[in-house]
């Protein structure tokens, strides 16, 4: 099943010069970039995006961290893209994330963990609508598609 998912390259990725490194990993994996833009996040947008954290003591700190510099929002597409991108990212705590994952290779923190990735196809659809206009996500033929996926 071809899915789309939201990836946000957080301020920690920009400040540490990791935008290319992280984007490269998705490209090399064979995922298709359907949308990409730099944004300055706002308190209001983050109240929605991180609504599941609203009662956590670190809620304001996480929001401040996400507003400390611009971010790069990406729409990434592929078969099972939501889970595949989560697997490439690794678990939330960069110190516990396995080497080879993005967080495992580039993060020493829970909060400053380089990227956001949607956690389910349902949430991916909601999040993509929140961050992208329809015309900012592009459908085009990925020339390597048949070589990437074959039949299963
Ligand atoms: P994710 O799906 O792996 O990004 O994790 P969550 O959805 O649970 O949390 C969203 C983001 O909040 C994480 O990526 C971290 O940046 C931050 N976060 C989560 N837990 C903590 C925590 O215990 N302390 C702090 N400071 N930030 C946290
Ligand atoms: Mg999450």
The ipTM (two decimal places) reads 0.98
Helix axes 19-29, 81-89, angle to 10 degrees: 130
The answer to whether the CB of 119 is under 6 A from ligand 1 is yes
| pTM reported for the whole predicted model | 0.98
Tell me what pLDDT residue 151 has. Answer: 79
Q: Whose CA is nearest to atom 26 of ligand 1?
A: 111
The answer to whether the CB of 58 is under 6 A from ligand 1 is yes
Task: List residues with catalytic annotation.
Answer: 116
pLDDT tens digits, residue range 51-108? Answer: 999 999 999 999 999 999 999 999 999 999 999 999 999 999 999 999 999 999 999 9
Domain that holds residue 113: 2-139
CATH value at residue 121: 3.30.70.141
Domain count, the chain: 1
The answer to whether the CB of 62 is under 6 A from ligand 1 is yes
* Site of tokens 């085009």: 140
Helix (H) or strand (E) holding 38: strand 32-39
Q: Torsion over CA of 145, 149, 150 and 152, rounded to 10 degrees?
A: -150
Say if residues 131 and 137 touch (Cβ distance below 8 Å).
no
Tell me, in angstroms, the distance from the centre of ligand 1 to residue 27's CA.
25
């Amino acid at each position: 099943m071809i899915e789309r998912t939201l990836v946000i390259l957080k301020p920690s990725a920009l400040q540490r010069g990791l935008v290319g490194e992280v984007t490269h990993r998705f490209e090399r994996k064979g995922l298709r970039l359907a949308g990409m833009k730099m944004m300055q996040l706002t308190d209001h947008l983050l109240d929605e995006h991180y609504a599941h954290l609203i009662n956590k003591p670190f809620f304001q700190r996480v929001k401040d961290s996400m507003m400390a510099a611009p971010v790069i929002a990406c729409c990434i597409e592929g078969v099972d893209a939501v889970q595949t991108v989560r697997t490439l990212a690794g678990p939330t705590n960069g110190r516990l994330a396995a080497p080879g994952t993005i967080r495992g290779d580039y993060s020493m923190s829970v909060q400053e963990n380089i990227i956001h990735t949607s956690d389910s196809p349902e949430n991916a659809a909601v999040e993509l609508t929140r961050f992208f206009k329809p015309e900012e996500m592009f459908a085009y033929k990925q020339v390597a598609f048949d070589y990437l996926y074959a039949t299963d």
